[in-house]
Amino acid sequence: DIQMTQSPSSLSASVGDRVTITCRASQSISGYLNWYQQKPGKAPNVLIYAASSLQSGVPSRFSGSGSGTDFTLTISSLQREDFATYYCQQSYTTVRTFGQGTKLEIK
Amino acid sequence: EVQLVESGGGLVQPGGSLRLSCAASGFTFSNYWMHWVRQAPGKGLVWVSRINSDGSSTNYADSVRGRFTLSRDNAKNTLYLQMNSLRAEDTAVYYCARDAPPGLFDPWGQGTLVTVSS
């Protein structure tokens, strides 16, 4: 199975900061990479699909990039409601593995 | 509204069995692959299993293969996860999710908690 590794595992930032989260696949997954946001006690919601496509209804401060094995999620200007845990997921194979998550906390 | 609603979670003893259900509405269920994902308390998301649109093909994570069985009833718009020989490490919130092109999980259900404990 393809392994997904996110970094960092946790991150402290302030409202208004620009934040980048990285996801690396154990083999090339082309552009088959999705990003999810999860808040405590809630199911995840998709933010970005196919590496760089913004899901309908998601604010434009979220963006994604990358291809092959290396991907990034960027939040251009953090808002209070963005403090959550973020997961990458590959959809290159039928076994849709997730990264271990990045918890974004308020500094 | 596209919606998934899980049910069937609860407390079960080690070695016991449980069947989870996921009722779909608001879309043509028989057109989509479906998945289960679990999340142990305080931990990350872990993919569990996947079934194709007509139920003829399934995949499982190594940790559940041989113990869990995924099936679907397209006439009832319902997904099932039969869990046997349950272990303490199976304790988690279990989510069902639709596999929407090009492979994103959307939507997710609200989750159902399975606790394996004596």
- SS3 call for B117: coil
Q: Is some CB atom of chain A closer than 8 A to the CB atom of B111?
A: yes
Nearest residue of B to residue A44 by CA position? B108
Shortest Cα distance, chain B CAs vs residue A77, angstroms: 25
pLDDT bin (cut points 50, 70, 90) of residue A107 is: confident
Summarised one tens digit per residue, pLDDT across range A45-94 is 999 999 999 999 999 999 999 999 999 999 999 999 999 999 999 999 99
Terminus-to-terminus CA distance in chain A, angstroms? 36
Mean pLDDT along residues A18-34: 98
Mutate to test the interface with B, among A95, A97, A103 (most CBs of B within 10 A): A95
* Cα A48 from Cα A30, distance rounded (Å): 15
Contacts of A46 (CB under 8 A, 6+ apart): A34, A35, A36, A55, A58, B104, B105, B106
Using a CB-CB distance cutoff of 8 angstroms, which residues of chain B are in contact with residue A43? Answer: 95, 107-111
Contacts of A17 (CB under 8 A, 6+ apart): A77, A78
Mutate to test the interface with A, among B32, B45, B51 (most CBs of A within 10 A): B45
- Reading chain B (118 residues) residue by residue, the pLDDT tens digits are 999 999 999 999 999 999 999 999 999 999 999 999 999 999 999 999 999 999 999 999 999 999 999 999 999 999 999 999 999 999 999 999 999 988 999 999 999 999 999 9
How is residue A40 annotated by DSSP?
T
Nearest to B104 among A49, A85, A98 (CB): A49
CB B16 within 8 A of CB B9: no
- For the four alpha carbons of A77, A97, B94 and B32, in that order, the dihedral sign comes to positive
